[in-house]
Amino acid sequence: MQSMRLVATCLCVVVAAPCNGLTAEPAGDEAAPSPRIAVAGTLQLPDSAPTGDGATIEVAGVSGVTWLGADRWAAVMDSGAAFLTFALDLDPAGEPRGIRDVRAVRLAEPHDYEDLAPCPPGLAGRLAADGSGHDRLLLCEEDTPAIHVVDEAGTIVGGVALPAPFARRRPNRGCEAVCTAADGATIWTATEEALPDDGPPPDRSRGTVVRLVAAAADGSGLRQFAYAVDPPHLFVPVGAGEVYSGVVALACLDDGRLLVLERSAGRGLPPFENRLYAVDTRTAAALPADATALADRPEAHVAKRLLWRAALGCNLEGLALGPALAGGGIALVAVADAEGLDAPNHLVVLRMGDPLTSP
């Protein structure tokens, strides 16, 4: 979300480098099992990356990340109309050791791109002229809003249908997150904040209610769920300004189970809070197609369990589930967008226990 520039002044006062203040807090419900999550390390992304035509582009505004398999990853920028591919070296405990083979791909159409995910093989194959569909990616953007399918050259070759109410999203609060289920059957996305027909945006004392959407990769239909985002975190105000609290990323665990990354921000100290929740939609009731006023229907909100919370100095915007680690646990990689803060973008690697134990 590009409007995070509003907290740049606060960060410059209290933070010497991005992500200095990452701390973890335990889940709120200690009676239920939760995967232990710890920060394994951070790593700066390069300032620039080469393109296929021999040029280079600035790496800035990185807002989404996804795992492509083995040591390969991709990230998208919300400015510059490009995505990156790179190799990430992790040690057995998940500590990031280095980034290699960084390449940039220019996107044929400029949009406010926010997240990306591998395109399910079935969908990619139907869109490819030769039926193979290799190296297709899903990219979601806020300005249309839309989920596009792009090929390895950055050309849009198709898309994923979204619910009609998404077209009435608040400016810069649309399609912020996308992930693909491991079996390739479902594509998940969410609005960052409530649609106007669903409820108000957040303020200092209340959160917002967004839509989690499961789109069948074969195009057979959509399921929608109501998800209540926490109110903005407590902070000491430093001047007047808007507050934010919304969904900025999703990571798919298995059929219907997700990790949801919430990010809140305000002109104050600390300026950011990042929260990671687990949700299970398998036992939740899907919304009727014509459902509105979701903020007034708490009984319809999907249950969620707090797994991790971090504050001060990190504007996390993207999240992806990665490989199992040789030392135990699973890598979970986030990107910290430093756009407007005169600081480089970072990867933040978390080491997580078995996520399917929660909820």
> For position 218, which CATH number holds?
2.120.10
pLDDT band at 181 (very low <50, low <70, confident <90, very high): very high
For residue 3, is pLDDT > 50?
Answer: no
List Cα–Cα distances, 343 to 18, 59, 143, 256, 354, in angstroms: 7, 11, 26, 37, 33
* Number of folded domains that form the chain: 1
Report the pLDDT value the prediction gives residue 172, as an integer from 0 to 100.
Answer: 81
Residue 224 has, within 13 A of its CA and on its CB side, a CA count of 20
Mean pLDDT throughout 112-119? 96
Task: Report H helices in the chain.
Answer: 8-14, 121-127
Report the pLDDT value the prediction gives residue 13, as an integer from 0 to 100.
Answer: 32
Structure tokens at 214: 């499961």
Distance CA 333, CA 331 (A): 6
Report the pLDDT value the prediction gives residue 15, as an integer from 0 to 100.
Answer: 37
Place of tokens 């398999």: 69
Mean pLDDT throughout 332-352? 83
Distance CA 225, CA 288 (A): 9
Which are the contacts of 103, defined by CB distance < 8 A and separation ≥ 6? 49, 50, 51, 52, 84, 85, 86
For residue 134, is pLDDT > 80?
Answer: no
Note the pLDDT tens digit of each residue in 12-62. 333 334 565 565 554 544 445 568 899 999 999 999 999 988 899 999 999
For residue 271, is pLDDT > 80?
Answer: yes
Structure tokens at 329: 């646990």
Report the pLDDT value the prediction gives residue 2, as an integer from 0 to 100.
Answer: 46
Structure tokens at 92: 């057995």
**Worst-scoring range by mean pLDDT, 138-142, 241-245, 310-314?**
310-314
For residue 299, is pLDDT > 50?
Answer: yes
Question: In degrees to the nearest 10, what's the CA dihedral of 245, 25, 257, 86?
Answer: 80
List Cα–Cα distances, 279 to 111, 127, 227, 252, 306, in angstroms: 30, 31, 9, 10, 9
pLDDT band at 314 (very low <50, low <70, confident <90, very high): confident
Strand partners, 311: 273
Report the pLDDT value the prediction gives residue 80, as an integer from 0 to 100.
Answer: 75
* Residue range of the domain that includes 97: 2-357
Mean pLDDT throughout 288-304? 95
Note the pLDDT tens digit of each residue in 187-201. 999 999 999 999 999
Report the pLDDT value the prediction gives residue 9, as an integer from 0 to 100.
Answer: 33
Distance CA 194, CA 251 (A): 20
**Worst-scoring range by mean pLDDT, 28-37, 170-179, 292-301?**
28-37
**Worst-scoring range by mean pLDDT, 33-42, 101-110, 290-299?**
33-42
Secondary structure of the chain: what % helix, strand, coil (to 5)?
10, 45, 45
Place of tokens 């989404």: 64
Residue 182, number of CB atoms within 10 A of its CB: 12
CB 195 within 8 A of CB 187: no
The residue among 142 and 16 whose pLDDT is bigger is 142
